[in-house]
């Protein structure tokens, strides 16, 4: 890729871009094997040294500056600013600004209007003057893109809190929404859990419409300050968007005639719903955005800042802060200790670390203690299913997820624990829960069953990212792989998952990656699952996947994929600058397909070995994780360590082994 002066990725055709990378001289196969062994040892030492004393691993989870901007806006709204936090947040936000004055939502991406507006306002709160060169450049770009009026709904909600936007010009979200029955298309349980946790408190904010005195005007962010709230054009009435826009007008009219007692009851129900879902550490769902909106909602309902719920909620927000050596303060959208720990355990075991190594046993102990044994929101759709999943975060008992549960089981199978009965019981609960969370089509989503209603995404309010949780190829693949390791390859439920995966393969041979970027992630997840479940390497689906991976390999020997593949798969599928994590995903697929001795694998392994740092780590500024395809991207700082180690370990030692595979009778008994 070429880089423009503002740091964004240029528009070279992907194939030409890949060809422009420096080519590595590929050594002979024996030399590659030796280089891989050395790389495995260095990466193993690096990862072992970074385990917490309690047994977990956690890398920074980097997203974009809207997290930091909204943290400052929350503090301004609650009047709890402090100079040191503001200064540190502003230092981070300024450091993320690009040369053209904008802020992007991922490394090398284009400027994003809403992110730029929120970052600009945050810097104004920190004292940056609008005539300062970096601020003037940002505001000029915002005006050129349509100003505040063109920003997404969530940005305009934040501005409405201070009177910088009119509440009347925002979509209505009534708290009576909580009373919709579970079968209704717009029930809160038809939203994905991350959206549900955000929407419920926002119904309170929408009903209350608070306005705090603005500390300054924002005329410079409007295309026409005399007409700051221009009406948005209506979509054709015959379209879904047009229908829901007109439905929003009806809901606005309802606000004027809403029965006071019903509105009060709905607000009280929202408060109970929010409080009941606060986690033991004070957070909500282990995610920063729902925590922010929950704090605001409860504050508007009369909870003072010293109330235990509020006090613990505010305290939990500080745990998302990462303080850097230069004094900057970055806010994580959430934290990933369970996910990082199970992936690190798999990587180390596959790299040859003994199954009874004290650090692996310590990791297993910690993961066993994190299993969730009480019902959560998932039980609305599966009321009779016993709990047994794992969540992504430190504290998120309401929302265990199917992906983490599958990977934790795969990790536990690689550890020789001193209490095997405890491990077997935990694995049994996890397998039973995952099987019970299978959707009707035979596949698995991340958090819920059959969360596929098309209507929530149509709401005018939901103009940013996915708000539903349909089954995906990557999650389904991880479950199928886990079931295969548990001796359930021939179980009818596993076979249904395999059938779904085969039907989801793209014509050119890849699979779409919902939770990682993108087709390389999907393919790197599915191929190992299919082969673990018994599909031979000669199966046509496996051969198509191998052919695709060979075609998109970069000239330098690695693999990479730009996030733009979510918007333009024809141009960007499997195309982008080589990264450590994406190269590892491709290698994991090729190795599972029996391609260890192929030139593609040899070149990929050589690239990983050549690009490894002396301390055993890899550098990866690119964002290869996905929150919402295209709209919200993630740089998991541990991905660059765990996945290359897994791939190199499997190259050196062969396919992963389990400590104790269940007998067919044991597996069938679940």
- Check whether 260 has a pLDDT greater than 90: no
Nearest C-alpha neighbor of 414 from the set 476, 336, 335, 481: 481
pLDDT at 500 over 70: yes
Mean pLDDT throughout 78-104?
96
**Contact assessment for residue 584 and residue 638, using Cβ atoms and an 8 Å cutoff:** no
CB 641 within 8 A of CB 479: no
Q: What is the pLDDT of residue 10?
A: 42
Inter-residue contact 510 to 519 (CB < 8 Å): yes
Decide if pLDDT at 380 tops 60. yes
Give the pLDDT band of residue 150 (cuts 50, 70, 90). very high
pLDDT band at 350 (very low <50, low <70, confident <90, very high): very high
Provide the pLDDT for residue 234: 65
Residues 607, 612: Cα–Cα separation, whole Å: 9
- List the beta bridge partners of residue 321: 331
Residue with tokens 């929950």: 294
Q: Which two tokens stand for residue 563?
A: 């996030």
Question: Residue 28 — pLDDT band, cuts 50, 70, 90?
Answer: low
Token pair for residue 319?
């745990």
Q: Where in the chain are all domains bearing CATH 1.50.10.20? A: 30-59+336-452+471-668, 62-331
Q: How far is CA 266 from CA 262, 293, 519, in A?
A: 6, 17, 43
Lowest-pLDDT range of 8-22, 51-65, 128-142, 420-434: 8-22
* pLDDT value, residue 21: 36
Within 8 A by CB and 6+ apart from 583, the residues are 558, 559, 560, 604, 607, 608, 644, 647
Task: Give the model's confidence band at 576: pLDDT under 50 very low, under 70 low, under 90 confident, else very high.
Answer: very high
Distances (CA, A) of 538 to 62, 125, 299, 509, 535: 40, 61, 61, 14, 8
- Please provide residue 78's backbone torsions phi and psi, each rounded to the nearest 5 degrees: -85, -5
Tens-digit pLDDT profile for residues 584-628:
999 999 999 999 999 999 999 999 999 999 999 999 999 999 999
pLDDT at residue 228 in the model = 78
Kindly report each contact of residues 163-168 with a partner whose C-beta sits within 8 Å and lies 24 or more positions away, as own/partner. Answer: 163/211, 163/212, 163/213, 163/214, 164/121, 164/214, 164/217, 164/218, 165/228, 165/229, 166/229, 167/206, 167/209, 167/211, 168/252
CB atoms within 10 A of CB 570: 7
**Strand, helix or coil at 556?**
coil
Of the pLDDT bands very low, low, confident and very high (cuts 50, 70, 90), residue 658 is confident
What pLDDT is attached to residue 250? 66
Nearest to 532 by CA among 500, 509, 498: 498
Strand partners, 322: 330
**pLDDT tops 60 at residue 7:** no
Least confident of 27-41, 76-90, 332-346: 27-41
* Mean pLDDT confidence for 224-249: 68
Per-residue exposure over 354-364, b if at least 16 CB sit within 10 Å of its own CB, e if not: ebeeebbbbbb
β-bridge partners, 469: 451
Distance CA 42, CA 644 (A): 12
The single-letter DSSP state of residue 187 is -
Strand order in the sheet with 625-628: 61-62, 632-636, 625-628
Return the pLDDT at 251: 66
| Least confident window among 177-191, 358-372, 457-471, 535-549 | 457-471
Q: Convert the pLDDT of each residue in 106-131 to its tens digit.
A: 999 999 999 999 999 999 999 999 99
Listing DSSP states for 204-224 in one string gives HHHHH---PPPSS--GGGSS-
390, β-bridge pairs: 401
Per-residue pLDDT, 664: 63
What does the pLDDT read at residue 393? 94
Q: What is the pLDDT of residue 6?
A: 39
- pLDDT for position 398: 94
pLDDT at 3: 38
| Strand locations in 114-254 (E) | none
CB atoms within 10 A of CB 241: 14
Dig out the tokens for 594 from the structure. 């029996």
Whether the model clears a pTM of 0.85, i.e. scores above it, the answer is yes
Q: Say what the alpha-carbon torsion angle 578, 580, 584, 590 is, to the nearest 10 degrees.
A: 20
**From start to end of 328-403, where are the E strands?**
329-331
- Containing 634, the helix (H) or strand (E) segment is strand 632-636
Q: What is the CB neighbour count within 10 angstroms for residue 239?
A: 12
| Contact by Cβ (8 Å): 535, 499 | no
The closest of 585, 577, 565 to 518, measured between CA atoms, is 565
Report, at the CATH architecture level, how domain 30-59+336-452+471-668 is classified.
Alpha/alpha barrel (1.50)
Phi-psi bin for 516: left (phi > 0), alpha (psi -120 to 50), beta?
Answer: beta
Say if CB 403 and CB 475 are below 8 A apart: yes
Nearest to 167 by CA among 175, 157, 177, 179: 157
Task: Please list, in sequence order, all residues whose beta carbon lies within 8 angstroms of the beta carbon of residue 428, skipping any fewer than 6 positions away.
Answer: 388, 670
pLDDT interval class at 240 (50, 70, 90) = low
Give the pLDDT confidence score for residue 39 in this predicted structure.
Answer: 97
Q: Provide the annotated active-site residues.
A: 403
The tally of CA atoms less than 13 A away on the side-chain side of residue 423 is 24
Give, in words, the CATH class of 62-331.
mainly alpha
Q: Which residue has 């605001």 as its token pair?
A: 296
Tokens of 159: 């501005």
């Amino acid at each position: 890729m070429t880089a423009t002066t503002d740091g964004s990725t240029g528009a070279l055709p992907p194939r030409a871009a890949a060809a422009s990378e420096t080519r590595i001289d590929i050594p002979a196969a024996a030399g590659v094997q030796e280089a891989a062994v050395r790389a495995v040892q260095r990466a193993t030492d690096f990862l072992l040294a970074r385990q917490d004393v309690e047994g977990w691993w956690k890398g920074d989870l980097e997203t974009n500056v809207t997290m930091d901007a909204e943290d400052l806006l929350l503090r301004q709204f609650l009047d709890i600013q402090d100079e040191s936090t503001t200064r540190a947040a502003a230092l981070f936000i300024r450091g993320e600004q690009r040369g053209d004055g904008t802020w992007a939502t991922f490394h090398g991406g284009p400027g994003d209007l809403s992110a730029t507006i929120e970052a600009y306002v945050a810097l104004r709160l920190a004292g940056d003057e609008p005539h300062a060169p970096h601020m003037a450049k940002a505001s000029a770009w915002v005006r050129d893109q349509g100003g505040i009026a063109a920003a997404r709904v969530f940005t305009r909600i934040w501005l409405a809190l201070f009177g910088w936007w009119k509440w009347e010009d925002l979509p209505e979200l009534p708290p009576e929404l909580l009373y919709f029955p579970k079968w209704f298309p717009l029930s809160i349980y038809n939203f994905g859990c991350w959206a549900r946790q955000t929407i419920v408190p926002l119904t309170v904010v929408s009903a209350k419409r608070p306005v705090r005195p603005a500390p300054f005007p924002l005329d410079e962010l409007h295309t026409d300050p005399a007409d700051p709230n221009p009406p948005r054009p209506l979509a054709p009435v015959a379209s879904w968007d047009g229908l829901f826009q007109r439905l929003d007008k009806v809901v606005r009219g309802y606000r004027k005639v809403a029965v006071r007692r019903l509105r009060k009851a709905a607000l009280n129900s929202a408060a109970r719903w929010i409080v009941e879902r606060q986690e033991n550490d004070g957070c909500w769902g282990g995610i920063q955005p729902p925590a922010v909106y929950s704090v605001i909602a409860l504050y508007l309902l009369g909870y003072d800042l010293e109330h235990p719920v509020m006090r613990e909620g505010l305290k939990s927000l500080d745990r998302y802060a990462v303080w850097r050596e230069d004094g900057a303060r970055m806010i994580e959208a959430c934290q990933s200790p369970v996910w990082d720990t199970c992936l690190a355990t798999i990587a180390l075991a596959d790299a040859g670390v003994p199954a009874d190594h004290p650090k692996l046993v310590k990791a297993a102990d910690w993961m066993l203690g994190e299993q969730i044994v009480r019902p959560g929101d998932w039980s609305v759709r599966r009321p009779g299913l016993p709990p047994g999943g794992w969540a992504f975060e430190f504290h998120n008992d309401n929302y265990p997820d199917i992906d983490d549960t599958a990977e934790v089981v795969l990790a536990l199978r690689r550890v020789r624990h001193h209490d095997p009965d405890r491990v077997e019981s935990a694995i049994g609960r996890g397998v039973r829960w995952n099987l019970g969370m299978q959707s009707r089509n035979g596949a698995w989503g991340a958090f819920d069953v059959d969360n596929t209603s098309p209507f929530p995404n149509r709401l005018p309010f939901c103009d940013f990212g996915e708000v539903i949780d349909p089954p995906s190829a990557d999650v389904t693949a991880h479950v199928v792989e886990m079931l295969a390791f548990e001796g359930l390859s021939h179980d009818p439920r596993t076979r249904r998952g395999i059938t779904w995966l085969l039907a989801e393969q793209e014509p050119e041979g890849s699979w779409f990656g919902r939770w990682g970027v993108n087709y390389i992630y999907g393919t790197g997840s599915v191929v190992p699952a299919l082969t673990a479940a018994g599909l031979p390497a000669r199966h046509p689906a496996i051969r198509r996947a191998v052919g695709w991976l060979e075609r998109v390999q970069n000239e330098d020997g690695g693999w990479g994929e730009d996030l733009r593949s979510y918007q333009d798969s024809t141009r960007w599928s499997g195309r982008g600058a080589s990264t450590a994590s994406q190269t590892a995903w491709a290698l994991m697929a090729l190795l599972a397909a029996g391609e260890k001795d192929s030139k593609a694998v040899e070149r990929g392994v050589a690239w990983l070995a050549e690009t490894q740092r002396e301390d055993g780590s890899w550098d990866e500024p690119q964002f290869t994780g996905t929150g919402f395809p295209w709209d919200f991207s993630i740089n998991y700082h541990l991905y660059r360590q765990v996945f290359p180690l897994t791939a190199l370990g499997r190259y050196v030692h062969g396919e992963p082994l389990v400590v104790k595979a269940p007998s067919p009778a044991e597996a069938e008994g679940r």
